[in-house]
Structure 1
């Protein structure tokens, strides 16, 4: 904590317990105490010497850590799974801090995943208004016409959402095997965004990989491997998000 009053949800997020959004929900659910009293008001400010408990556990601030994980297919973007499936923490054997993923990649999607215990950093990268680009490569069934792909930039309706890509490019078409490989750039990250968007156009995704997140790439990593972000990379990602807001 700093020497000034800070918002409670910000302090919780900075402690590494969870992201800021989830910290807000914990407060609303009555699971947070300040100086042994339950607090349910968002925006409550706390001092450095205040005692904070989350789910009955006293808050202890960890030093912030930042990792880049190459998530393989067949791994859940979660810290635990009641079905016994492999989760991302199974891949982070030497990480001792209480970390969590920045955003999600679904079970069958591989690629870049940022892992941290810094809730403010996570919120900065995830919030749509900060517009951090995420680049995917998708193998889709079928060969769409250019006019159909043009809908990606205008927006495709799926359920209650309008799903968009800010940029797309055809990397390969194979008429014999009836598939197309697309490069897609998103700024939002709604649930199963790419898969739902392409399904709505009638071209289901056969394989999906996130290859770039802002300035970060998978260079030097194999599926299942991870590395710490450099201080320069963390600074650059912050600057990228703040410049776009």
Structure 2
């Protein structure tokens, strides 16, 4: 008896090798074998009895793991860096599972970064249609007016991208030093999203931190610290994605 079958990209993602989207690309690129034969067709189904190899390495099923890292500034959101810079998994060296980051945070941005070996969970949180709130605190040069800041929600064009914020709030203003602290909420985070928006308005960001991701916060953590997500937190994040609970 062969047993229940699942899509090949899902099996790869659940093994902790990479996310489902990247697993699909590996299949298309001919990097995946099933029972010794290269498979390039998306949607191919396999069972637990099939031997799957990715880049010549057999898959080993891992228990799903979920971590929250307080990413410091000056760290690459990647599993490797050819320039020798510090990467996020350097802070989780004692974790046996092969985890990967869910999304990314820019090199100069600190704050919440989630890592997992569960490709389905990663895909759920990263997909734009689920519109999970990501709350950032930005320190900027200058003191923009309300009229200028209203453009954040309307959308600002930069290098062919339309960059938008879901919401914003002025937290404080320093009239003497002409600086301002903003709380900015995003759903989708494009490359240097907030920095590029503010640069277009003429108010460069000097410091940026992601303080909240859905229902998750940095409470109790210092830069470089990490912890496992609790089963309740994992369930809450799934519910947030499906709009069953507010965040």
Structure 2 residue aligned with 1:185? 185
Q: SS where residue 86 of structure 2 aligns?
A: coil
| Alignment partners' CA distance in 2, 1:243 and 1:135 | 17
Unaligned runs of 5+ in 2: none
Relative to structure 1, the CA distance from residue 182 to residue 3 in structure 2 (aligned partners, 3 Å threshold; closer, same or farther) is farther
String of CA shifts for 1:54-75, please: whole Å, max 9, x gaps: 0000111100000000000111
Structure 1 stretch 209-218 or stretch 88-97: which is displaced more?
Answer: 88-97
Structure 1 residue aligned with 2:52? 52
Where does 1:197-208 land on structure 2 (aligned, <5 Å)?
Answer: 197-208=197-208
| Alignment partners' CA distance in 1, 2:70 and 2:45 | 37
| Alignment partners' CA distance in 1, 2:195 and 2:93 | 30
Q: SS where residue 11 of structure 1 aligns?
A: helix
Q: SS where residue 120 of structure 2 aligns?
A: helix
Structure 2 residue aligned with 1:122? 122
Q: Which runs of 4+ in 1 moved over 4 A?
A: none
Tell me the TM-score normalized by structure 1: 0.97
Tell me the TM-score normalized by structure 2: 0.96
Please say if 1:218 is aligned against 2:213.
no
Structure 1 residue aligned with 2:146? 146
String of CA shifts for 1:157-184, please: whole Å, max 9, x gaps: 1112111111100001112211111000
Deviation at residue 32 of structure 1 after TM alignment: 0.4
Q: SS where residue 220 of structure 1 aligns?
A: coil
Where does 1:1-245 land on structure 2 (aligned, <5 Å)?
Answer: 3-243=3-243
| Alignment partners' CA distance in 1, 2:91 and 2:140 | 28
String of CA shifts for 1:190-228, please: whole Å, max 9, x gaps: 111111111111111100000000000000100000000
Q: Size of the alignment, in residue pairs?
A: 243
Do 2:3 and 2:49's aligned partners in 1 also have CA atoms closer than 8 Å? Answer: no
Q: SS where residue 243 of structure 1 aligns?
A: coil
Q: SS where residue 243 of structure 2 aligns?
A: helix
Deviation at residue 37 of structure 1 after TM alignment: 0.9
Unaligned runs of 5+ in 1: none
Deviation at residue 243 of structure 1 after TM alignment: 2.4
